[in-house]
Amino acid sequence: MIIHTGYDGISLRNPIVTMGRFDGVHQGHTATLNYLIDKAKKSDGESVVITFVYPQSQNRHNFCLTTQDEKREMFHKLNIDYLIEIEIDEELKKMSAVDFIKDVLFDKIEAKHIIMGYDQHFGNSSEGNFKTLKEYSADLGFTVEQLPEYRPEGNKVSSSVIRQLLLAGDLDTANSLLGYNYVVTGTVIEGKKIGRKMGFPTANILPAINKLIPAGGSYAVEANTKFGRFAGMLNIGVNPTIDPANEKTSIEVYIIDFDKDIYSETISVIFKKRLRTERRFENIEQLAYQMKLDMEETIRYFE
């Protein structure tokens, strides 16, 4: 897969194009992308994905299911030929749908066929849609089609629905709609080492600033480290038993049967099952006992 930043200086052969944010690269996205790849092969063309990227500063308030690096990896695994990343800056926000069609899709990318997802919009104030593309397609010499809404077993699949599910703690449904287990990647940083005192030394994870973190609670996860993959139990929350006044959320994973030094390393945690919600215990001893139960449940899950 070849990655382009922006749309200047691109030379493509019979480009078959789809576009969107593709946050999460969920089942609905994957269905569109697989159709794109098949269409490109049958047309003796190249599969081209245009994805829109928010500046990092804006992502603080626009939490993403997938970071740009994660999206790149997923597009690569799907065998997309070209990925064009366009930053959503002020110029793009002001660009009309018609100008985007003429200046970007036609003039710069020279799209031959455009595949639109269900209810997809683009351009200033989201004014552009399938009808807009269809109106200009004949004069500009490209074709366009719109795929039907993807509803596995009648369920609506969208990035916003999946975000709501993760924030509500419904991991099973979120993973089902994603088509894979949700992943958070981050750097292992120094923590307060309270877990170590209870017999559960945890790795504190600092994720990307724009990454959506699931609802607070304990989870059975798979920890992917440079030493391999290991079962683990992860807690997201404010540790109310340790510090009732704390308001800062932390992500801590206890990796089972693991004793390597991974400070400053990058690890990924794959969310498999939600064990329980976070709650305050009367004392540290009760918390340690609950963590023992969580570990036993995690081991049973992976067995």
Q: Are 229 and 276 in contact (CB under 8 A)?
A: no
Same domain, 108 and 36: yes
Q: What is the pLDDT of residue 285?
A: 82
Asked if residue 167 belongs to a domain, the reply is no
Q: Are 29 and 125 in contact (CB under 8 A)?
A: no
Residue 27 to residue 43: CA distance in whole angstroms = 24
User: Which CATH number do you get for residue 51?
Assistant: 3.40.50.620
In the three-class reduction of DSSP (H, G, I as helix; E, B as strand; rest coil), residue 183 is classed as strand
Q: Are 185 and 70 in contact (CB under 8 A)?
A: yes
Asked if residue 176 belongs to a domain, the reply is no
User: Which CATH number do you get for residue 202?
Assistant: 2.40.30.30
Q: What is the pLDDT of residue 293?
A: 93
Query: Which residues make Cβ contacts (< 8 Å) with residue 3, sequence separation at least 6?
Result: 72, 82, 83, 85
Q: Over its length of 303 residues, how does the chain's per-residue pLDDT go in tens digits?
A: 999 999 999 999 999 999 999 999 999 999 999 999 999 999 999 999 999 998 765 544 458 999 999 999 999 999 999 999 999 889 999 999 999 999 999 999 999 999 999 889 999 888 999 999 999 999 999 999 999 999 888 888 999 999 999 999 999 999 999 999 999 999 999 876 666 666 778 899 999 888 999 999 999 999 999 999 999 999 998 776 666 656 678 899 999 999 899 999 999 999 999 999 988 877 778 888 888 999 999 999 999
Write out the residue range of the structural domain in which residue 189 sits. 181-302
Report the number of distinct structural domains present in the chain: 2
Parallel, antiparallel or unpaired: strands 266-276 and 217-225: antiparallel
pTM of the model: 0.91
Same domain, 141 and 11: yes
Could you give the C-alpha distances from 63 to 39, 150, 174, 211, 270, in angstroms and in order? 32, 24, 15, 5, 18
